[in-house]
Amino acid sequence: MRIGGFLPLSLCDYPGIPAAVVFTQGCNFRCPFCHNGRLVSRVSVEGQLIPEAEVLERLRIRRPALDGVVLSGGEPTLQPDLPRFIALVKSMGYLVKLDTNGSHPEVLEMLIRDRLVDCVAMDIKAAPDYYAALSGLPAPPMEAVRESVRLLAAGAVQFYFRTTMVPALHRPDEKDRIRAWLPPDAPWREQVFQPENALHPGLRRAV
């Protein structure tokens, strides 16, 4: 696993559960508002990565104080070793939450099928017709994103959708457009945009 960051304790990333957060290195989106810009590149100086063994040992030591581990990023489903790593984490007795952009439904389906994840938070960037502007991609993988929405809506695992609302980018009626697209009654949360470390420099001054 290419691990670009580790947060030993979070009380907000796994709702209701004290958890550590493991940040994977590399993402296939280029969201201009991303606040984890240093994790976007799949190429990083090796010395800046955290050894997997070190993270696993820290999780082992902290197990009495923690109940969950969040796999975030970057985009965790890009990591070939993700299932193996999660299996090791779960062997310690942790609950596992996955944060994903939904671009790899085949990985998501496998993780759900093999009961490797207990909760999934899927980022919804915008309504489908506006995904290019918020994902930073000229041709975002919308069919993959739609399939991930369908997978989660099937209800085989605890999940929720979430959107970071960026006043400088989203349209005034974006919330209504997103709600109209998502399955009825699907849990959806709004996240507050944090401009300080936005990937696009122009947004760092946005309010």
Domain that holds residue 96: 3-205
Measured between its terminal Cα atoms, the distance across the chain in Å is 36
Determine the pLDDT at residue 190.
Answer: 95
Residue appearing with tokens 């958890």: 19
CATH code (residue 27): 3.20.20.70
The helix or strand, by DSSP H or E, that contains position 12, with its residue range, turns out to be: none
User: 193 and 165 in contact (C-beta within 8 Å)?
Assistant: yes
pLDDT in tens, 158-205: 999 999 999 999 999 999 999 999 999 999 999 989 888 888 888 886
Two tokens at 138?
A: 């000229």
Q: Name the percent of the chain in helix, strand, coil, to the closest 5.
A: 40, 20, 40
Confidence bin at 37 (pLDDT 50/70/90): confident
**204 vs 72, residue with greater confidence:** 72
| Entry pTM | 0.95
The helix or strand, by DSSP H or E, that contains position 180, with its residue range, turns out to be: helix 174-181
Q: DSSP letters of 30-78?
A: --TT-S-GGGT-S---GGGSBPHHHHHHHHHHHGGG--EEEEESS-GGG
Determine the pLDDT at residue 46.
Answer: 61
Domain count, the chain: 1
User: 145 and 103 in contact (C-beta within 8 Å)?
Assistant: yes
pLDDT in tens, 113-163: 999 999 999 999 999 999 999 999 999 999 999 999 999 999 999 999 999
Q: What is the CA radius of gyration of the chain?
A: 17
Determine the pLDDT at residue 204.
Answer: 84
Across 43-58, b (16+ Cβ under 10 Å) vs e yields: eeeeeeebebeebbee
pLDDT in tens, 3-22: 999 999 999 999 999 999 99
